[in-house]
Structure formats: C-alpha cells, structure tokens
Amino acid sequence: MNSRRSTAFLIIALVIAIALAGGLFYLLQDTDFSFLNQSAEAVKPVAVTPVPSALPADPTEDPKPKDIFISMIGDCTLASSQYDNSFDDYLTKNGLSWPFSGTADYFKNDVFTLANLECSFSDQELGSASLFYFRAPSSSASILSEGFVDCVTLGNNHTNDFGEQGLLDTESALDAAKVNWVGPNDSKVFDTEVGVKIGVYCPGWTGLNETNIQAGISALQSAGADVCIFAPHWGIEGSYQVSSNQEAFARVAIDAGAQIVCGTHPHVLQRVEQYNGGYIFYSLGNWSFGGNTAPRDCDTAIAQIKLVLLKDGTYAMDGYQLIPCCLSSTAGSNDFRPVPYEEGSDDYARAMSKLDGTFSGPDLTVDYSFLN
C-alpha cells in the first residue's frame, strides 16, 4: 500500500515538474539574454519615479500664463518723405531692427501688438500727388516683424498716397513679412498662442458714422472675437483736446461691443478714458515717425491692456498700463527709435499728464503753408 502511494506521489510530482518546465520554457523563449555578455559598467540601474496621483492631459504642454497683454502704439511712418532721406540713412547705418530696438521686449512678451502704418511699401517708382508721401522698399516691412508688431491698420490719410497699386504692394509686403493688416472699412479676427481671438475694426479715413461702427464691431463678434478693438484715424492734428466727434464715436463703439478704442492721427498724446467697461485711448501720438526729423512734441506711449486667466480657462480684461516714451533715443533730434522715459522724471510726468487729461499746455499749430 505504501509502495503504491509512493509511486503515485512520484508520478504526480513528475507531471508537475514537467508542466512547470514547459511553462518556464514558454515564458523565456522570446527573452533577450544578450545582457549576460555585457560588462559590469554597461549594466546600469534604472531609477523608479513615483507616479503622480493625477497627470495633466498633456504633460508636455505648458500651462496658460496667468496674465497676458495686448500692446498698442501710434503712427508709424517707416520711410523718409520726399523732402529728405534721414530715416533711410538711419536704416542703412543701423539695420532694419533699429526703429523698435529700444522697446522690442515689450512687444516680444505680449500676445498681440497693434500699430497704425502711415507709409507704403513698394519696389515700384509710384507717383503721388500728396503734400507729404512716404514710400519704402518692400523689404522695410520687416521692420515691423523684427520689432514684434503683429498687426497694422491701413485706414488713414496716407493709405492711398500711391493709389490702389501702392496699397496692394503694401499689403503684399506685409504678407511676405508675416505681419497682419486690416484695411480701410475692414474687420478681421486674429488667433493668439494662448487661444484668445482678437478682432480689429479699422473704419478708414473717411465716412466714419454710427452705422458703420456698429456694423464693423458686429462683424468681429460674429467672427468669434473675444476682444474687439475699434481703431479709428481721427481728431485734429496737434490738438491735445478730444473733439466731440471722437468722444461720441468712441462711446458708440464701446456700446456696440468693442472693449478697446485705439485712436491715431493727432500726432500727439490725448487722454485715456474708461467707459461702460471699455478703455478708450483717443490718441497714442507718433511712434517711429520718419515723416518728421525735428518733432516739436516727442512724447509718445505704449498702452497695454492686461488680461487675467479665469478658473474656466478663459481670459478677462483687468485694467491697463501706460509706458510713457520719447519717440527718439537721441536728445534734440529724431533718430526714429522710441525709448521709455525714466519713471519719476519730468518727461515721464509730462507725458502722463497728456494721457490723464491734466496737461494744460497749448495745442500745436500745424501749418504747412511754408511748403507752398
């Protein structure tokens, strides 16, 4: 009896051993044993990192910045006039990056920079009947991209200095330089890297009225703009005072849904106003302005709208900041390179007084009769 049990146990043990051996062979038959031939230095321990309890959907994606900025500047004439070559001479000496080299970091680190362009880019010898006209080669459009300007408006009194061909050439040059543009009576919406869609309505130099303002802002809203900017070219040259038409049309735009009004043309700074949840910059003056070698008023400014990140991942406007600047980095002349004023300086205070509406100096008299 004991002999039979012993034999049975041996048979069972043998069957189990065979089964285990077969399973082990099956598990190891595809295993790479080449590591056994490696030297001791080649075999390195693998560090084990604890897995977080919750991983982001895309660990490689950077989180959205908490604060972002939209920057705005005034009139840019990136060409010499027909009366001298001063601007061109500075470019020849210093390169295309020169005009924005004193302030580029402000625009490099925002999400959108808007300027008004008061010159034409063309490689053709185009004629003009304008009292002042400004034409630069198409390559000069890269001044804007090198200065981190994202978009320019083309709805001012110099837009058609060289007729339809001049405007077409300008648009083509801007496209080649990868600078966005908004033409006369045009509404466009632009994407940004943080997902905010910024819309710009440029009404053009003539025909400004309540109906086209409302239609222009409505077009931006229909196109999905998160922030709507009304960018008119208006007001009185040389005047620090906001006209009744400027004030009325600015409020029409805000009431229609624009959050920002960015005005140009007076060539001097005018006051900033908050109205019905929006911000109105009546005039941001001149910026890099090749049209005037000896400006009587060198004060200008960068206006930046601050947007903050909300819990739902969207952005909302949260005030603005002003950076008073001089339109030249050389005292006593225009070198066409704006730089910030030192905070606390008399120049800084004077520029701020124009922006807060407390400036009491006389308007500039703009008289072109000497050219006749």
Place of tokens 């082990």: 24
Please report, for residues 77, 86, 290, 318, the alpha-carbon distance to residue 293 in angstroms, rounded to integers and kept in the order given. 11, 7, 7, 38
pLDDT tier at 366, thresholds 50, 70, 90: confident
Q: Are strands 278-281 and 260-262 parallel, antiparallel or unpaired?
A: parallel
On average, the pLDDT of the chain sits at 87
- Percent with pLDDT over 90 in the chain: 79
pLDDT digits (tens, 9 = 90+) for 60-75: 556 899 999 999 999 9
- CATH code: domain 67-359 is 3.60.21.10
pLDDT at 365: 87
- Percent with pLDDT over 70 in the chain: 82
pTM: 0.83
114 has which bridge partners?
A: 72, 151
pLDDT at 14: 52
pLDDT digits (tens, 9 = 90+) for 273-317: 999 999 999 999 999 999 899 999 999 999 999 999 999 999 999
Q: Is 242 exposed, middle or buried (0-12, 13-18, 19+ CB in 10 A)?
A: buried
pLDDT digits (tens, 9 = 90+) for 182-207: 999 999 999 999 999 999 999 999 88
- Whether residue 240 contacts residue 354, with contact meaning beta carbons closer than 8 Å, is answered with yes
DSSP state of 243: P
Q: Given a cut of 50, is residue 123 above it in pLDDT?
A: yes
pLDDT at 61: 57
pLDDT tier at 368, thresholds 50, 70, 90: low
**Rounded CA separation 222/123 (Å):** 37
pLDDT digits (tens, 9 = 90+) for 81-100: 999 999 999 999 999 999 99
Domain chopping of the chain, boundaries: 67-359
Q: Given a cut of 80, is residue 372 above it in pLDDT?
A: no
Q: 250 Cβ partners below 8 Å, 6+ apart? A: 230, 261, 263, 273, 275, 280, 282
Q: Which residues of 286-323 are buried (b: 16+ CB within 10 A; e: fewer)?
A: bbbbbbbbebebbbbbbbbbebebeeeeebebeebebb
